[in-house]
Amino acid sequence: MMNWLTQHLRALLFSLRRLLATPVANLLNVLVIGLALSLPMGLYVLLQNVQSLADRAVGTPQLSVFMNMGVGKDDIARIGRQLKQSEAVDHIEFVPREQALEQLKRSTGLADVIGGLTQNPLPDAYVVYPKRTDAQTLETLRDEVRKWQKVEHVQLDAAWAHKLESLLKFGRAALLILAVLLSIALVAVTFNTIRLQILTRRDEIEISRLIGATNGFIRRPFLYFGLLQGLLGGIAAWLIISLSLHLLNVGLIELAQLYASNLALFAPSAGDGLALLLFSACLGWLGAWLSVVQHLWRIESK
């Protein structure tokens, strides 16, 4: 076990020395990886901020459950219990028909006209606040409540939810395509970097094979080099995104003050940052592995 750890530690230290031996070239490679990774990660952060800002601006969608005219107190209580027991409902608010009429008088300015009515035309209603705000959940809850007895009508304005969900779905699709294309490009960058290193050490590799070195022993320093290069590229991407968000927030805060509002773009979470570093390190390792495997196969085939 100690021998295995020692071999890996030596390979890691050797890879670090190789990185430091040509700092300018490796720095440029790291910057290329960082810039490429910052594009999909920046789009992901932007989508997260757009969704958060939209939720705050629009608020939580509501369902208005209108009951039949003349419904009894027992039926009102039964429908309230059914709503509270639903897993999709967060909480509910009962609006008696008398209260609804008073609110209509205050909001429309037609108190004289409404006061001339012989009876209250408005039904008792529940305002339902759902736990989730996606369009499919809202429509499923609406269709379920519609089937209940003593329920006359269920109103849901889900147009904004459909539009927002469609825009975010389009953004996620674009993000996935961009991430896949740039991932392939980053693997190619690491592949070429390792290929150049293998070519400069070709004689050393062939001699190592003649004295009994295994493929794993030969691959190990190159794989660590690719992993370290990818990891440094992920760190560079994180720094680029953080700096960009800081600069954008400076301008956004000044703009928000003009409209007496409080807006700011939030940075990616620690979990997102860790996922970025792991992803970039894996891409670097994959590019190095493909390059080493190809060149070892060429050497063996001769």
Q: Which range, of 40-44, 117-121, 234-238, averages the lowest pLDDT?
A: 117-121
| Residue 41 to residue 241: CA distance in whole angstroms | 8
Domains of the chain: 2-57+163-301 (no CATH), 62-156 (3.30.70.3040)
CB of 12 within 8 A of CB of 224? yes
* Count of C-beta atoms within a 10 Å radius of residue 254: 9
Helix axes 159-200, 202-210, angle to 10 degrees: 70
What confidence score (pLDDT) does residue 302 get? 59
Longest CA–CA separation in the chain, Å = 106
One-letter amino acid of 54 = A
CB of 150 within 8 A of CB of 80? no
What confidence score (pLDDT) does residue 235 get? 93
Token reading at 261: 């509002």
Q: If you average pLDDT over each of 63-72, 92-101, 230-239, which comes out highest?
A: 230-239
Average pLDDT estimate for 159-174: 75
Q: Which residues pair with 129 in a beta bridge?
A: 91
Mean predicted lDDT score pLDDT of the chain: 78
In degrees rounded to 5, what are phi and psi of residue 199? -65, -35
Q: Which range, of 37-41, 120-124, 298-302, averages the lowest pLDDT?
A: 298-302
Give how far Cα 26 sits from Cα of 31, 32, 127, 287, Å: 9, 10, 61, 15
**Whole-model pTM?**
0.64
Closest CA to 126 of 106, 88, 100, 161: 100
Report pLDDT digits (tens) over 222-261.
888 888 988 999 999 999 998 988 888 877 777 666 655 5
CB of 125 within 8 A of CB of 100? yes
- DSSP labels for the chain? -HHHHHHHHHHHHHHHHHHHHSHHHHHHHHHHHHHHHHHHHHHHHHHHHHHHHHHHHH----EEEEEPTT--HHHHHHHHHHHHH-TTEEEEEEE-HHHHHHHHHHHHS-HHHHHT-SS--PPPEEEEEES--SHHHHHHHHHHHHTSTTEEEEEE--HHHHHHHHHHHHHHHHHHHHHHHHHHHHHHHHHHHHHHHHHHTHHHHHHHHHTT--HHHHHHHHHHHHHHHHHHHHHHHHHHHHHHHHHHHHHHHHHHHHTT----PPPPPHHHHHHHHHHHHHHHHHHHHHHHHHHHHHHHH-
CB of 133 within 8 A of CB of 55? yes
Rg (CA), the chain: 31
What confidence score (pLDDT) does residue 232 get? 92
N-terminal to C-terminal alpha carbon distance within the chain: 35
